[in-house]
Amino acid sequence: MPSASPLYNFSGINNEIDCPYRIPSIEAQNDTRYSSNNYDSLQSLSAMADQSFNGIFSPNSPSYSSHIPVTSYSSSTQSITSSPSPYFTTSEYNCMYNTNLPNQRRSCEGSSNDSPFQTVLSKKGFHDSRDDVFNEQDQLLSWTRKHPENWSSEEVLDWLIYTGQEKGLNMSELRAEAFQNLCGIELCRLSIEEFINLEPKYGKSLYEMLKHLLTGLSFQKPVDITADYQELSPYNNGNNNPTPSPVRSHFGSPAYHTMTNRKQEHSNYNGYNNNTDVYWKTERQEPMPCDVIDIGPYDFDVNDHPAVPQPTVDPCSPEFDAFMSGYPNTAPVRTACCFPGSTYPQALPRRRPGRPRNKSLPGDEESRPHKDKKAKNQHLWEFIYDCLINPAYNPQFLRWENQREGVFRFVQSEAVAQLWGGFKNNENMTYEKLSRAMRHYYKRGLLERVEGRRLVYKFSRKALDRAREKRHITL
DNA sequence: TAAGACTTTCCTGGTT
DNA sequence: TAACCAGGAAAGTCTT
């Protein structure tokens, strides 16, 4: 089985499939200029890594620098090592920075070729592609945009490496591989003793840093979820912020409207407000005025959480068994965020299917994310069905109205659209578009109209039979 | 290589 | 007014 991350290769150690369906944020595009919530990024980041990035991470830095930790795994020592140059700029991305000396730039001529440590860039063969660089950055820093409980096993490692570097741990001694089979929720549930057991030398420090990180987080109030949800949410720390979800606040306007306006908004935006709370109360969605990879904000809300204990699928039911069958050796909580057969998208050059966006729209070329990853080959209606039988998404995002008859309802239509968009590597997906695709199924006899009911659809018998047969579900 | 399937995007117009 | 629904049209990828 391949390693969970192409960046970490622990030979001989089993990795498990991680959560493939994640709501991508608007800033999960090729850069992370789209800051996105009320989480005080700089404060929490400093809690995790008290080294200052000084000018390098200054949001208003005119250098337009982007930074990315660079790590590699040594097959000979079975340990992860960090490049002495864990950062590079995208404007000069053949130049390297020293994490321990954040302001000290190394020679631009000094590539990693002289180093036993492999860099991201060297892994990519020094593609002269800014897009690839951004994608890689986004991949390595994706953990910064989620609650730790939402981290995939890759992101656990990303956090581990990043934190180890920033805390100045001896990375050659850090047993990162011991954590590689843990997803975020499992990591968060580890006791200090278990941390130490996994990593005798640094386990205590890592545990404390994780707890520090967790206690520094603030969470957003769900938009469509009931008060019960609030109470159930493990993130409800009594400090719910009424700030609308950045993800959902983005949903309100059609994509073309966003595209149309973004460039203008961008051009009008005169500075990044470090007070992310204020930033999000203004519901700004435009990019920050520089290409800084902002490792601070967590791009998630409580709705993007796999452990919400509201399953409607009876754990004893055949559906649940079918759902779980793809993960024979994993715990329910973990498998609840996974889908059988799903893997992380491969970074293959490819155009996104469908009609190209109107190039005449202002700002299109700049705001349009680069979708170069291969989308999974699954049909939308099957995706919807899978979500419906997944307690991680039902009833949080969509739910059965009549499971036997195949009638279901979108609870958070835009969130489902974002899930679908994430699945297809298309961050521009909206419910508008998803619903259009759904309506095509009427003609094909896979969906039947449910008159007079908004957000309610019905699988045809044909679709139900096909889906249930494929998943060995009997009702 | 072609054709059909499928999805995405854009759009207009209508309803709630 | 916003959100949703309906469906035509175009254009792309994917599968066979």
The CA–C1' separation of A201 and C10, in angstroms, is 61
**Encoded tokens for A124:** 């990519």
The CA–C1' separation of A218 and C14, in angstroms, is 43
A379/A265 Cα distance (integer angstroms): 36
pLDDT at A174: 73
The CA–C1' separation of A221 and C7, in angstroms, is 36
A124/A128 Cα distance (integer angstroms): 9
Inform me whether the pLDDT recorded for A467 exceeds 70.
yes
Chain C nucleotides reached by a protein CB under 7 Å: 2-15
| Each residue's pLDDT tens digit, A410-455 | 988 888 888 888 888 787 888 888 988 898 888 888 898 888 888 8
pLDDT at A1: 31
**Encoded tokens for A170:** 């001896």
Inform me whether the pLDDT recorded for A408 exceeds 50.
yes
Nucleotide nearest to A355 (CA to C1'): C11
Nucleotide nearest to A421 (CA to C1'): B8
Inform me whether the pLDDT recorded for A234 exceeds 80.
no
Inform me whether the pLDDT recorded for A62 exceeds 60.
no
The CA–C1' separation of A238 and C6, in angstroms, is 43
Q: Which residue is nearest to nucleotide C11 (CA to C1')?
A: A355
Contacts of A397 (CB under 8 A, 6+ apart): A303, A387, A410, A411, A412, A415, A416, A419
**Encoded tokens for A298:** 């967590």
Q: How far apart are the first and last CA of chain A?
A: 34
The CA–C1' separation of A31 and B8, in angstroms, is 23
- Which 3 state secondary structure label does DSSP give A96? strand
What is the rounded average pLDDT of the residues A119-145? 41
What is the rounded average pLDDT of the residues A284-289? 28
Determine how β-strand A96-98 pairs with β-strand A79-82. unpaired
pLDDT at A353: 60
The CA–C1' separation of A151 and C16, in angstroms, is 39
A16/A331 Cα distance (integer angstroms): 12
Helix (H) or strand (E) holding A399: strand A398-402
The CA–C1' separation of A352 and B7, in angstroms, is 9
pLDDT at A465: 86
The CA–C1' separation of A220 and C1, in angstroms, is 26
A26/A376 Cα distance (integer angstroms): 20
The CA–C1' separation of A430 and B8, in angstroms, is 11
Contacts of A414 (CB under 8 A, 6+ apart): A247, A248, A251, A430, A431
CB-contacts to strand B (7 A): A 255-256, 259, 352-358, 361, 364, 379-381, 420-421, 424, 426, 428-429, 432-434, 436-437, 440-441, 444, 452, 454
pLDDT at A175: 75
φ, ψ for residue A193, nearest 5 deg: -65, -40
Inform me whether the pLDDT recorded for A401 exceeds 50.
yes
- Which 3 state secondary structure label does DSSP give A216? coil
Buried b (16+ CB within 10 A) or exposed e, A276-306: beebbeeebbbbbbbbbbbbbbbbbbbbbbb
CB-contacts to strand C (7 A): A 252-253, 350-356, 374-375, 377, 413-414, 431-432, 435-436, 439, 442, 449, 451, 453-456
Inform me whether the pLDDT recorded for A169 exceeds 80.
no
Inform me whether the pLDDT recorded for A402 exceeds 80.
yes
Chain B nucleotides reached by a protein CB under 7 Å: 6-11, 16
Inform me whether the pLDDT recorded for A21 exceeds 50.
no
More confident residue, A181 or A288: A181
pLDDT at A376: 54
- Which amino acid is present at A187? L
Q: What is the DSSP letter of A57?
A: G
Inform me whether the pLDDT recorded for A147 exceeds 50.
yes
pLDDT at A172: 67
Per the DSSP assignment, residues forming a β-bridge with A165 are none
pLDDT at A379: 86
Inform me whether the pLDDT recorded for A204 exceeds 60.
yes
Q: Which residue is nearest to nucleotide C12 (CA to C1')?
A: A354
pLDDT at A457: 92
Per the DSSP assignment, residues forming a β-bridge with A408 are A400, A457
pLDDT at A216: 58
φ, ψ for residue A469, nearest 5 deg: -65, -45
Helix (H) or strand (E) holding A446: none
Query: pLDDT class for A229, splitting at 50, 70, 90?
Result: very low
**Encoded tokens for A245:** 């979800």
Inform me whether the pLDDT recorded for A464 exceeds 50.
yes
- Which 3 state secondary structure label does DSSP give A323? helix
A155/A163 Cα distance (integer angstroms): 12
Task: Give CA A394 to chain center in angstroms.
Answer: 19
Asked if A383 and A341 touch (Cβ cutoff 8 Å), the reply is no
Query: pLDDT class for A474, splitting at 50, 70, 90?
Result: low
Mean of pLDDT over chain A: 49
More confident residue, A397 or A148: A397
Q: Which residue is nearest to nucleotide C5 (CA to C1')?
A: A454
The CA–C1' separation of A77 and B1, in angstroms, is 51
A301/A335 Cα distance (integer angstroms): 20
Q: Which residue is nearest to nucleotide C15 (CA to C1')?
A: A377
A231/A39 Cα distance (integer angstroms): 20
Determine how β-strand A456-459 pairs with β-strand A447-448. antiparallel
A21/A304 Cα distance (integer angstroms): 10
